[in-house]
Structure 1
């Protein structure tokens, strides 16, 4: 892979990751005063602000960070395809790839946050550090949702396993393109 393509793709993925993280923090109603939350909001506020004027909130969910992530992935794909002289520019196909990329990134972030949350619950439960607190705050609403359907069995919380399975099923249905 050409180093220029790698650099462009990496920068695009990092910016999209931060935008998706903002969505997850807002959706989970994570502690706004956590330094990580504040950094994510400050970093994304300028590009998200105009999108918030166009994209309405639905309940407590603000989808403007996801729209930003979609735009970032789309722009990254357009740049990569434009730099590659042997591929034609099909904006609709690139938009679909960007949408699939956002969904896949969102699911991957939830997957890894769930793994991190499980490890934290074993190693450092109740840690005052901002990073474990954010992971727990992102995953707890999902854990609570699964616990309503599937209660703990003998003190064993099976909600992370159910979340892993659901994520794997959804990701297996997404087209693999990147």
Structure 2
């Protein structure tokens, strides 16, 4: 593979992954019923609206599950993988089903990583800026709260110390490492096809 193709793969994966992140955030915002009047939410809505508008006519939402955003995320990941394979000199024609499975695994891995990093940001903000009214801080809190709620119901109340993020981190890592990454390895997924694996 030539240096030009490697550079192209890097640029395409970086830009494509950034847009994929925005699309998946749109899915998550509806899933956790985040405030859509938040300036960051408005940016995400505007950035995804052109592609999602026609898809919503065909793929309806299922309760709080924005299925059109989820399908769009998988399609974007699939296209990124096909482009990378073509630039590497492979024809993806006979591998479309396998690529679809890899795309679903990569999107699931990114989904978990969004919650992982949102939790890290939430924990840091709880130390340095508790109760912040910053739009980004509020959005992170809205993403984390529904995920932390089941752990808070199970864990004992330790006064001012909230240990639920520790168990949430463990759950995310266990699912990512021992389910998603293992499935990707067992299906022969090359790591270059997704930067999130």
Specify the TM-score bucket, using the shorter chain as the normaliser. over 0.9
Residue correspondences, number: 177
Q: Given the alignment of the two structures, is residue 22 of structure 1 paired with residue 26 of structure 2, yes or no?
A: yes
Q: Which residue matches 1:93?
A: 98
Q: Which residue matches 1:82?
A: 86
**Once structures 1 and 2 are overlaid, which stretch shifts more, 57-66 or 37-46?**
57-66
Q: Which residue matches 2:76?
A: 72
Q: Which runs of 5 or more structure 2 residues have no equivalent in the other structure? A: 192-197
Q: Which residue matches 1:36?
A: 40
> With structure 1 as the length reference, what TM-score do the two structures score?
0.93
Q: Conserved in 2, the CA contact under 8 Å of 1:36 and 1:131? A: yes
Moved over 3 A (4+): none
Q: Which runs of 5 or more structure 1 residues have no equivalent in the other structure? A: none
d(CA) in 1 for partners of 2:91, 2:164: 45
* CA RMSD in angstroms, aligned pairs only: 1.5
Deviation per CA, 1:116-163, whole angstroms, max 9, x where unpaired? 001111110111211111101110111122212223324321211111
Q: Which residue matches 1:138?
A: 143
> With structure 2 as the length reference, what TM-score do the two structures score?
0.84
The DSSP-based 3-state class of the residue aligned with 1:94 is helix
d(CA) in 1 for partners of 2:55, 2:150: 29
d(CA) in 1 for partners of 2:163, 2:14: 35
Q: Which residue matches 2:195?
A: none
Q: Conserved in 2, the CA contact under 8 Å of 1:151 and 1:157? A: no
**Once structures 1 and 2 are overlaid, which stretch shifts more, 114-123 or 42-51?**
42-51
Could you tell me how far 1:21 is from its partner in structure 2? 0.7
Q: Which residue matches 1:115?
A: 120
Q: Which residue matches 1:103?
A: 108
The DSSP-based 3-state class of the residue aligned with 2:149 is helix
